[in-house]
């Protein structure tokens, strides 16, 4: 087909490769002198066919009230906005059945790519609820659903998710002060989640492997860190595999 743009009225020639059914555009030689001295300057330009939308995340790590919408949410459709509110309320609410349904839909829904930054933002709220094991577990469940959704491309949000998961695994946590709180299971779950994120999405971020290993090694080798942090580093390394 004809390529629309500056002065390309002719279709580009394609050439086949003998080794297989592969076709590529054959480059034509361009005379730079003629191009520079040409008098037929193109007028106007083609219509814009690519629209870019940039979403900014609030990196403060503050957890919004249940079902609240981050201030950056202004370009979402009403349906997406309602979905976001209902899911966050369901997951962070008091009805376990509703939470299960919401997490399942979050894991399989193919139309929520625009909401990815905002759910990642919700997961980053782990730092503000370190005293509440139940809420920490629920936020990690959201992270797991996002990771397992085959229709979402995590891209640069992998780092943010890993940061939140590693916080649950390595930090002392306010909930750890009470010996009756089973924060060990939370750390086991976070370690498993860390491994899953790395092995399924680690190739999206360069240098992620060494960054994770360095973080775990730093905590493990720090004698000032409490036992629970050392434990988180050990189970994190174990989850990543013996290599």
Q: What is the mean pLDDT of each run of 10 residues along the chain (243 residues)?
A: 53 72 74 74 55 45 44 67 91 90 93 90 88 90 93 87 93 84 91 90 80 92 93 94 82
* 16 domain-assigned: no
- Return the pLDDT at 108: 92
Q: 């629970």: which residue's tokens?
A: 228
Report the distance separating Cα 165 and Cα 186, nearest Å. Answer: 10
The answer to whether residue 230 sits within a structural domain is yes
Integer Cα distance of 184 and 222 in angstroms = 19
What's the whole-model pTM score?
0.67
Q: Is residue 38 part of a domain?
A: no
Structure tokens at 115: 């909401």
Q: Given this model, what pLDDT does residue 56 score?
A: 42
Q: For residues 98 and 87, give the distance between their C-alpha atoms in angstroms, rounded to a whole number.
A: 9
In a domain, 226, yes or no: yes
Residue 126 lies in a domain: yes
* Contacts with 19 (C-beta within 8 Å, 6 or more apart), sequence order: none
Give the per-residue pLDDT at 211: 87
37 within some domain: no
User: Where in the sequence is the domain holding 180, given as residue range(s)?
Assistant: 71-240
Helix, strand, coil share of the chain (percent; to 5):
55, 5, 40
Residue 130 domain-assigned (yes or no): yes
Q: What are phi and psi of 97, to 5 degrees?
A: -65, -45
At 70 the pLDDT is 53
What is the H or E stretch that residue 73 is in? none
The number of beta carbons lying within 10 Å of the beta carbon of residue 47 is 6
Q: What pLDDT is attached to residue 64?
A: 43
Q: Which two tokens stand for residue 127?
A: 């730092």
Residue 44 counted as domain residue: no
CATH of the domain at 181: 1.25.40.770
Count of domains for the chain: 1
């Amino acid at each position: 087909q004809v390529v629309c743009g500056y002065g390309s009225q002719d279709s580009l020639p394609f050439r086949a490769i003998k080794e297989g059914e592969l076709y590529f555009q054959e480059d034509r030689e361009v005379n730079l002198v003629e191009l520079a001295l040409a008098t037929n300057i193109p007028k106007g330009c083609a219509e814009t066919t690519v629209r870019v939308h940039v979403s900014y995340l609030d990196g403060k790590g503050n957890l919004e009230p249940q079902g609240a919408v981050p201030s950056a949410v202004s370009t979402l459709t009403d349906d997406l906005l309602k979905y976001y509110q209902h899911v966050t309320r369901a997951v962070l609410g008091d009805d376990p059945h509703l939470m299960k349904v919401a997490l399942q839909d979050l894991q399989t829904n193919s139309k929520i790519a625009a909401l990815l930054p905002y759910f990642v933002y919700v997961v980053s709220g782990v730092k503000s609820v370190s005293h509440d094991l139940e809420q920490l577990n629920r936020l990690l469940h959201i992270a797991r659903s996002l990771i397992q959704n085959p229709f979402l491309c995590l891209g640069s949000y992998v780092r943010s998710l890993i940061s939140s998961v590693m916080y649950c695994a390595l930090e002392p946590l306010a909930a750890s002060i009470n010996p009756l709180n089973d924060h060990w299971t939370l750390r086991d779950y976070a370690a498993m989640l860390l491994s899953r994120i790395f092995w399924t999405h680690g190739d999206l971020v360069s240098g992620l492997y060494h960054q994770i290993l360095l973080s775990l090694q730093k905590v493990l080798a720090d004698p000032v860190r409490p036992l629970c942090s050392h434990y988180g580093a050990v189970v994190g390394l174990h989850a990543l595999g013996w290599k």
